Amino acid sequence: MPNWVGQQLGNYCLLRLLGKGGFGQVYLGEHIYLKTHVAVKLLREDINGTQTEAFRLAFLDEARKIAALKHPHILRVFEFSMDKFTPYLVMDYAAHGTLLERHPPGSKLSVARVISYIQPIAQALSYAHTTQLVHRDVKPANVLLDELDTILLSDFGVATIAHNTASMQTIANMGTASYMAPEQLQGHPVTASDQYALAVMVFEWLCGELPYQGDPISVGIQHLTTPVPSLRQLNRELSPAVEAVVQKAMAKDAKLRFASVLDFVYALEQANQAEPQTRNSASNSVFPPAVFPPAHTKSFVEPAPLTLAFDNPFSFALSNTADSIPALSLIDDSRGLTYALLANQEPLLNNSIANNSSVNKTRHVYANGMTLLTYGSASGKVYSVVWSPDGTRVASAGNDTAIRIWDVASGETLHTLSHGSAVYTVAWSPDGTRVASGGNDAIVRIWDVTTGQVLYNLQSHLVSVNAVVWSPDGRFIASASDDQSVLVWEAVSGKLVDHYEGHDKWVNAVTWSPDGKLLASAAGDQTVQVWEATSGKLVCRYKGHNSDVHAVAWSPDGKLLASASGDQTVRIWEATSGKLVRRYEGHSASVNAVTWSPDGKLLASASYDQTVQVWSATAGRALLTYQAHQTPVFAVAWSSEGSQIASASYDVHIWQVS
């Protein structure tokens, strides 16, 4: 292609060449009036006079599809146009280059670093897949970094235009054969083809080399016919679990891969968190391996006090503190169930007893932390679980697109509401007559609980809705989204009344203060921001976490906030000043959710480490660890009367706290 430096395309002057590849050249461009910088990609395409009009129409058709893509991790495309016979795209300028430049061929990365890269890529791909768009050219050179090192997936436009432009198809195939799925090489790309390409990137980063070597034609044949090489032979430090996940995502048959690109990333996260000796080993087993019930089945365990005599040597500890909370000590009985020993209410002069067979006292042991009911979801992860205000029902929702409302006493399903996409959040209205849901389709839906009908849809978010919450008086709904905003709506009319855009990354959670005057939102920018619900004025910004903040919860008295993060901590801090009060570090993996007990004395937090931990808000120490889930716990909710907790993983457990 000719050198375009110094020339003008539309309103942009091309300053210097940034890079080139099979599709064309990329230049740094400057707007001739605004002096802002962009990236201008000129496509390598030779169009003669008879082809020009047909190509222009096809080009514009693809341009409309690409222009509709709005996601925090997709590089924005501002303009598609043609200069005589040369098509070009005008895009955001990513100042920090590509992941290929940051990690040249031969680089070997940790599993954790790889996951940090592919999480946002997978989110972008998942969003595109909901629009029936397949990228077709996922590779490190097409993953860009802006000045904040935000991951941005690029070249959606190039891939789709190439797919529909005969003269570019050979170039596309030859240029990216190293990452192409078998079915794409055969001319039949599907959404799982992008998963395959992402898995090849993971393979390359984990061992420092691509799975197949040689010229493009040879590599293509290997993708079609040769089994995936062993990652562990190339990197002995990798676990069998990590290797198995990558192998599945690179299955030759697209139907044998993970159900979605997000499921692939989630499986890799889990494989990385797994240890050689899991909780199922004899040395640290608390619960035997769980057998999850099929859809819509329930299992019950009757909680019954039992008496345990301390005749055999074993270790336990009792403590008497200033807290009004009885001290607990977890003990395994012969059936593998966990019980909590409650200290006597009288002061203890000697607060510890260890391996003392001369002590033959008898105490009552209560079934704290015992599972009372297990409710199986239809399929996939359950992202949200909430109690009705009167405590008689629970609503749960997740990856299977359904919201299920069920009776706590019987476990019977009362309603199954179809949201239409993966549901990330569900919330009850204060009067218990309605629920709000939000999910991957960017729509907030309001449902009548009695009839199961949708009352109205709220559709001002651009991408997925991660949280919805009702104001304490039921008049308003706040919703948080990957589009970096929080919107406030009238609950009766659905009218948009306010928006907050103080975060510069996706917003994971939002919550109202008990008096309804303030909102707190938590985001991927590692902050929690407290702001006035009516004016949007910032009151406080908490910056204590060093990873995504996944959840935030207001104490019942409105004075404190608890925030949970990917940095494996929960932090309690003053809601209006941001002063740190306490830090809880009991989890061994990312913390997904946190909730206060109704009396404000305890907190429960849920984590990727497969546990829910109940701990003292004043002392910051764990009182009980619930370990019945065998997969990550995504959500946790306290019943209104405070004696039970609902926790969600791939199913929902209701269990006794006290």
Task: Give 479-519 pLDDT, tens digit per residue.
Answer: 999 888 999 999 988 888 888 989 988 899 999 999 999 99
Greater confidence, 359 or 389?
Answer: 389
Domains of the chain and any CATH numbers: 8-273 (1.10.510.10), 305-366 (no CATH), 371-656 (2.130.10.10)
How far is Cα 607 from Cα 598, in angstroms, rounded to an integer? 21
Residue 128: C-alpha distances to residues 72, 142, 149, 193 (Å): 12, 15, 21, 13
Q: Confidence class of residue 227 from pLDDT cuts 50, 70 and 90?
A: very high
Question: What's the token pair of residue 265?
Answer: 């990333």
- Least Cα distance to 525 among 539, 508, 513 occurs for 508
- Least Cα distance to 121 among 182, 176, 72, 76 occurs for 72
Greater confidence, 544 or 342?
Answer: 544
Residue 409 is predicted with a pLDDT of: 85
Residue 522: C-alpha distances to residues 277, 482, 488 (Å): 34, 11, 16
Which among 159-168, 324-333, 371-380, 492-501 has the top mean pLDDT? 492-501
**Cα 407 from chain centroid (whole Å):** 28
Residue 419 is predicted with a pLDDT of: 84
- Per residue in 616-644, pLDDT (tens digit) is 999 888 889 998 888 889 999 999 988 89
Mean pLDDT over residues 561-585, rounded?
94
Taking the CA of residue 194 as centre, how many other CA atoms within 13 Å lie in the half-sphere pointing to its CB? 30
Residue 293 CB contacts under 8 Å (≥ 6 apart), including other chains: 299, 374, 376, 651
- Per residue in 441-487, pLDDT (tens digit) is 889 999 999 888 899 899 888 888 999 999 999 999 999 998 889 99
Backbone angles phi, psi at 595, to 5 degrees: -150, 145
Residue 370 is predicted with a pLDDT of: 63
Taking the CA of residue 485 as centre, how many other CA atoms within 13 Å lie in the half-sphere pointing to its CB? 15
Q: What percent of the chain has pLDDT over 90?
A: 42
Is-catalytic flag, 137? yes
Taking the CA of residue 615 as centre, how many other CA atoms within 13 Å lie in the half-sphere pointing to its CB? 24
Q: Confidence class of residue 194 from pLDDT cuts 50, 70 and 90?
A: very high
Q: What percent of the chain has pLDDT over 70?
A: 77
How far is Cα 533 from Cα 471, in angstroms, rounded to an integer? 10
- Least Cα distance to 63 among 138, 142, 165 occurs for 165
197, 201, 207, 213: CA torsion to nearest 10: 60
Question: What's the token pair of residue 33?
Answer: 């009036």
Question: What's the token pair of residue 66?
Answer: 């690409």
Q: Of 92, 137, 333, 431, which one is the catalytic site residue?
A: 137
Mean pLDDT over residues 254-272, rounded?
93
